[in-house]
Amino acid sequence: MSGLFAEEWAVFPGHYAGHLRLALGALLMGLIISVPLGTLVARRQVFAGPALAAASVVQTIPGLALLALMVPLMGGMIGFWPAFTALSLYSILPILRNTIVGLQGVDQDVREAALAVGMTANQRLREIDLPLAAPVIVAGLRTASAWVVGTATLSTPVGARSLGNYIFQGLQTRNWDAVLFGCLISAALALALDQVIGQFEKAALKRSRRHALAGGIGLALVIAPALSLFVEGGTSRRAAGNPERPAATVSLEGQTITIGAKGFTEQYILADLLKRTLEAKGARVEIRDGLGTTVAFDALASGEVDVYVDYTGTIWAALMKRDDPAQRSAMYARVSAWLLNERGVMAFGKLGFENAYAFATSPQTAAGNQLETIADLSGKDLAIASDPEFFGRSEWTRTRDAYGLQSLDPRSMDSAFMYDAVKNGEVDLVTAYTTDGRIDAFDLVLLEDTLSVLPPYDAFILLSPEAQESAALLNALEPLQGAISTELMRAANSKVDLERQSVSQAGAWLYEEVSPASE
Amino acid sequence: MLLRADRLTKTFADTVAVDQVSFELKAGETLALIGHSGCGKTTTLKMLNRLIEPDNGVVELDGAVASGMAGHEWRRRIGFVIQNAGLFPHKTVAENVLVTPGLLGWDRARQQAKLHELLDMVGLPARDYAHRYPAELSGGQRQRIGLARALAGEPDIVLMDEPFAALDPLTKDGLIADIARLRRELGFASVLVTHDFGEALRLADRIAVMDGGRIVQTGTARDLIASPANKVVEDLLAAPRLMAATVGRAFGEGGS
Ligand SMILES: Nc1ncnc2c1ncn2[C@@H]1O[C@H](COP(=O)(O)OP(=O)(O)OP(=O)(O)O)[C@@H](O)[C@H]1O
Ligand SMILES: [Mg+2]
């Protein structure tokens, strides 16, 4: 590692290009939809009202929710298109509103004079209405541009690469450099686009070549950093399960494998490990990280992602919608059977560690309240923090009912901040992940689940319907089966969460630990 | 006959704005439409160039019927001047004036010649004014450019809706003189809407008095003064008559 933000710059072209593609695409779409629509409805108050109301409603949906909603609405598709669609919807309102307001603001005498001198309705629209409304429309475009560039950072969880990848990964792995970098670049892009739009606006108003040129150069400068990707990249082709390739090939040479990862430290490290493992066999690897649980799985089922790691308990509760506890031994078999039969997804072996939820508390709280088992919490008035996902699952309600935990006060909190919160006594309990390095580092006390209510969370590899056809891929992944103990995973997680190493450093370390060559 | 309006009628919701209005205009002739606020002058004028489509009635210009062609083509043959000029704020004086010639497909040389001729005629020479924007002109200058724009397509007739209403008396006098001169030089006919009997007197060959959407009397100023048809016409003349007496007395005393 050398130089400021060296690690961030390394992945910059891809993140930036993804972000720019989303933002510029959405703005263009906003213009293409809003200006004609606004023109059509501006003179018809009956339509103008409802059109604005509809657009305003879209605007009140929080960005992250709108992006997430697009995934199911678009049949489980993830990546560029749902993000692009949501952002386009976002850019419609400000442009539409300003088109309508701008057109309605054109002086009535001037509009009448345009007809009186012999213009047709279309000529008046082109020569008078639109030029006079242009400054207002452009102001709307600027607002849209600021919103879209900012909101595009939220496309990471739906699998579209953007500057948000820095922010989401940075938040999860507490890499503040990455967060700062993502924010700075995103802000710089917003400012730059504003300047470019401003130049084009002046060019149009004053019919000035100089401003048009400045705008053109500005736009070229904004796009240029994204282009380095194509110079280096060449065409990438999806090749997992490519029928032209005989299934028996051992090498993954020339194939592109897409690895998925959800948005927390362990998943980032495992994606890095998978990447190293597959690249060693010659594959080209793309990573889609920061995905939400169901987004990651849907992407796998639809073949947009070839491989990722999930946990038995997650599939059991979140996808199979089972709320009965299962025997640890039977669970993996039942989960893998369900995956194959219901979704065509292959469960390709457990990694060897478990990352369950465990009720954890600080030594002080444990001592003060005489806590050893979950049952000891019954009737106590304590605050418990967990990720929002957990409180929505049946295992929480089941645990609560089984142990009589109604008196606990549940608080949703991002997992990145939970451990510090419990250590500092801001909350009394957290649902810790059993592979988290901070359990040891902070001396946290894990409360025993005497009734075995909490389900097992064995990590295992999932393969998409296409990917499981590739024998070479199966060969390459096989050494990972059973290779990672809970201690090993916890150690890798602490490297990032506690020792402040980068994900790729931790991934490299883990790769060395598990690869057969090093044994 | 250049212009013929035959039984023009327009109803808005439940107000009859114009009720069976008919008149004729010879080439080069000026008719003033005068009457109280809301009596239907503007509506009548706009039906002539089809900015308002009549419910009933016919307009003929040079033998052609208005409803027989597209509205924009009809309007390219008719000049139109309104109270605050209605210049296009994002276009220069030259561009404003040359809109209609452009729409008529004139070549560049003819357009430039027309621009210079008209700007000279209204006293705002092209060298100094052609490249200005409307915001860079005074109210009177704007109104002159509005007049030049209305005349640029060489129309046979110009419609004017209270073109002097927003001007101070001196500017107004100058513009009235200019219009009178232009009319002599170019020979266009015009319909002038006004509240002011004095303006009508100075510019119009004939005056039509409107009340409640109808024309109640048409004639020369002399006809109206000599034999007003009804109370409305008499009322309309009362104020100018008083003014004339006062002014006449003042000048009489001052002159002796
Ligand atoms: N677009 C419209 N909708 C409804 N009513 C209208 C409309 N235009 C005019 N009117 C009505 O028609 C009548 C005649 O209006 P018009 O503008 O022709 O009057 P005017 O003689 O020009 O008055 P003024 O001297 O005040 O300009 C008025 O009663 C007016 O309220
Ligand atoms: Mg009027």
For residue A414, give Cα distances in angstroms to A60, A107, A172, A388, A393: 23, 53, 8, 8, 16
Ligand 1 centroid from CA B38, angstroms? 5
Nearest atom within ligand 1 for CA of residue B10: 12
Roughly how many angstroms between the first and final C-alpha of chain A, as a whole number? 27
Nearest CA to ligand 1 atom 17: B42
Q: Which residues make beta-bridge pairs with B79?
A: B158
Tracing tokens 């049949």 back to the chain, one arrives at: A75
Contact assessment for residue A291 and residue A263, using Cβ atoms and an 8 Å cutoff: yes
Kindly identify the ligand whose nearest atom is closest to the C-alpha of B43. Answer: 1
Is the pLDDT reported for residue A507 higher than 60?
A: yes
Is the pLDDT reported for residue B150 higher than 80?
A: yes
Tracing tokens 């240029």 back to the chain, one arrives at: A224
CA dihedral B78, B81, B85, B87 (to 10 degrees): 0
Distance CA B68, CA A493 (A): 84
Contact assessment for residue A277 and residue A323, using Cβ atoms and an 8 Å cutoff: no
Cβ neighbour number for residue A177 with a 10 Å cutoff: 16
CA dihedral B227, B229, B232, B233 (to 10 degrees): -40
Which residue intervals of A236-317 are DSSP H helices? 265-279, 293-301, 312-314
Nearest atom within ligand 1 for CA of residue B36: 25
The pLDDT, as a whole number, for residue B106 is 94
Query: Of A25, A76, A29, A516, whose CA–CA distance to A291 is shortest?
Result: A76
Contact assessment for residue A283 and residue A303, using Cβ atoms and an 8 Å cutoff: no
Tokens matching residue A483: 């290779």
Contact assessment for residue A319 and residue A311, using Cβ atoms and an 8 Å cutoff: no
Is the pLDDT reported for residue B223 higher than 60?
A: yes
The pLDDT, as a whole number, for residue A250 is 64
Residues in chain B within 8 Å Cβ distance of A208: none
Record: contact A119-B72, CB cut-off 8 A: yes
Distance CA A225, CA A182 (A): 15
Is the pLDDT reported for residue A301 higher than 60?
A: yes
Region A256-283 average pLDDT: 92
Coil, helix or strand for A360? strand
pLDDT tens digits, A141-183: 999 999 999 999 998 888 788 899 888 888 777 778 889 999 9
pLDDT band at B255 (very low <50, low <70, confident <90, very high): low
- DSSP for B202-254, please give it: HH-SEEEEEETTEEEEEE-HHHHHHS-SSHHHHHHHHHHHHHHHHHHHHHHHH
The pLDDT, as a whole number, for residue A500 is 86
Nearest atom within ligand 1 for CA of residue B45: 18
Under 8 Å CB pairs connecting chains A and B tally to: 61
Kindly identify the ligand whose nearest atom is closest to the C-alpha of B17. Answer: 1
The amino acid sitting at A100 is I
Contact assessment for residue B208 and residue B169, using Cβ atoms and an 8 Å cutoff: no
Distance CA B129, CA B191 (A): 28
Is the pLDDT reported for residue A235 higher than 70?
A: no
pLDDT band at A516 (very low <50, low <70, confident <90, very high): low
Pick from A17-26, A39-48, A69-78, B123-132: least confident: A69-78
Is the pLDDT reported for residue A5 higher than 50?
A: yes
What is the overall mean pLDDT for chain A?
86
Ligand 1 centroid from CA B170, angstroms? 29
Is the pLDDT reported for residue B168 higher than 50?
A: yes
Is the pLDDT reported for residue A293 higher than 80?
A: no
Query: Residue B90: closest CA among chain A residues belongs to which residue?
Result: A132
DSSP A433: E
Contact assessment for residue B1 and residue B64, using Cβ atoms and an 8 Å cutoff: no
Pick from A206-215, A454-463, B80-89: least confident: A206-215
Distance CA B155, CA B187 (A): 10
Distance CA A146, CA A90 (A): 11
Out of A110, A112, A120, the one facing B72 most closely (by C-beta) is: A120
Nearest atom within ligand 1 for CA of residue B39: 21
Q: Which residues make beta-bridge pairs with A288?
A: A260
Residues in chain B within 8 Å Cβ distance of A127: 88
Is the pLDDT reported for residue A2 higher than 70?
A: no
The pLDDT, as a whole number, for residue B33 is 95
Residue B182, H or E segment:
helix B169-186
Q: What is the CA radius of gyration of chain A?
A: 27
Q: Phi, psi at residue A432, to the nearest 5°?
A: -75, 155
Q: Please tell me the distance in Å from A120's CA to the nearest CA on chain B.
A: 6
Record: contact A113-B89, CB cut-off 8 A: no
Pick from A231-235, A294-298, A396-400, A421-425: least confident: A231-235
Nearest atom within ligand 1 for CA of residue B41: 21
Distance CA A27, CA A137 (A): 13
pLDDT tens digits, A400-443: 889 999 888 888 887 778 888 898 888 999 998 889 888 888 88
Dihedral angle sign, alpha carbons of residues A276, A278, A281, A285: negative
Nearest CA to ligand 1 atom 23: B38
Cβ neighbour number for residue A25 with a 10 Å cutoff: 19
Distance CA A341, CA A383 (A): 41
The pLDDT, as a whole number, for residue A245 is 40
Distance CA A75, CA A499 (A): 41
Out of B73, B90, B99, the one facing A117 most closely (by C-beta) is: B99
Interface test with A, best of B99, B142, B157 (most A CBs within 10 A): B99
Region B1-7 average pLDDT: 92
Taking each helix axis from N to C terminus, what angle separates A265-279 and A486-497, rounded to the nearest 10 degrees?
Answer: 110
CA angle, corner B95, sides to B91 and B100, nearest 5? 120
Distance CA A380, CA A382 (A): 6
Distance CA A431, CA A228 (A): 44
Tokens matching residue B183: 């009319």
Is the pLDDT reported for residue A365 higher than 80?
A: yes
Tokens matching residue A493: 């997680």
Ligand 1 within 6 A of CB of B138:
no
Ligand 1 within 6 A of CB of B194:
no
Domain locations along chain B? 3-77+157-255, 90-154
Tracing tokens 């209005």 back to the chain, one arrives at: B21
Tracing tokens 């927390």 back to the chain, one arrives at: A264
Is the pLDDT reported for residue A514 higher than 70?
A: yes
ipTM for the whole complex: 0.92
Query: Residue A132: closest CA among chain B residues belongs to which residue?
Result: B90
Dihedral angle sign, alpha carbons of residues B215, B218, B222, B227: negative
The pLDDT, as a whole number, for residue A229 is 59
Tokens matching residue B103: 């729409």
Is the pLDDT reported for residue A238 higher than 50?
A: no
Ligand 2 centroid from CA A359, angstroms? 82
| All domains in chain A, ordered by first residue | 6-236 (1.10.3720.10), 256-354+458-514 (3.40.190.10), 357-446 (3.40.190.120)
The amino acid sitting at A281 is K
Ligand 1 centroid from CA B231, angstroms? 22
Distance CA A162, CA A322 (A): 35
pLDDT tens digits, A304-316: 899 999 999 888 8
Residues in chain A within 8 Å Cβ distance of B51: 112, 115-116
To the question of pTM greater than 0.95 for the whole model, the response is no
Distance CA B183, CA B174 (A): 14
CATH topology of domain B3-77+157-255: Rossmann fold (3.40.50)
Ligand 1 within 6 A of CB of B143:
no
Which residue among B42, B191, B210 is best mutated to probe the pocket of ligand 1, counting the most ligand atoms within 8 A of its Cβ?
B42
The pLDDT, as a whole number, for residue A239 is 38
pLDDT band at A111 (very low <50, low <70, confident <90, very high): very high
Coil, helix or strand for A259? strand
Distance CA A203, CA B129 (A): 23
Is the pLDDT reported for residue A299 higher than 90?
A: no
Residues in chain A within 8 Å Cβ distance of B150: 117
Contact assessment for residue A316 and residue A455, using Cβ atoms and an 8 Å cutoff: yes
Residues with Cβ < 8 Å from A217, sequence gap 6 or more?
Answer: none
For residue B185, give Cα distances in angstroms to B25, B94, B110, B163, B178: 19, 22, 19, 20, 10
For residue B214, give Cα distances in angstroms to B23, B95, B192, B227: 11, 39, 16, 19
pLDDT band at A241 (very low <50, low <70, confident <90, very high): very low
Cβ neighbour number for residue A485 with a 10 Å cutoff: 16
Interface test with B, best of A107, A111, A115, A117 (most B CBs within 10 A): A117
Interface test with A, best of B80, B160, B161, B191 (most A CBs within 10 A): B80
Ligand 1 within 6 A of CB of B10:
no
Kindly identify the ligand whose nearest atom is closest to the C-alpha of B35. Answer: 1
Pick from B27-36, B146-155, B240-249: least confident: B240-249
Pick from A1-10, A199-208, A382-391: least confident: A1-10
Instruction: Tell me whether residue A194 is exposed, middle or buried, using C-beta atoms within 10 angstroms of its C-beta: 0 to 12, 13 to 18, 19 or more.
Output: middle
Choose the most confident range, by mean pLDDT, from A63-77, A212-226, A385-399, B101-115.
Answer: B101-115
Taking each helix axis from N to C terminus, what angle separates A176-206 and A12-42, rounded to the nearest 10 degrees?
Answer: 40
The amino acid sitting at A183 is C
pLDDT band at A231 (very low <50, low <70, confident <90, very high): low
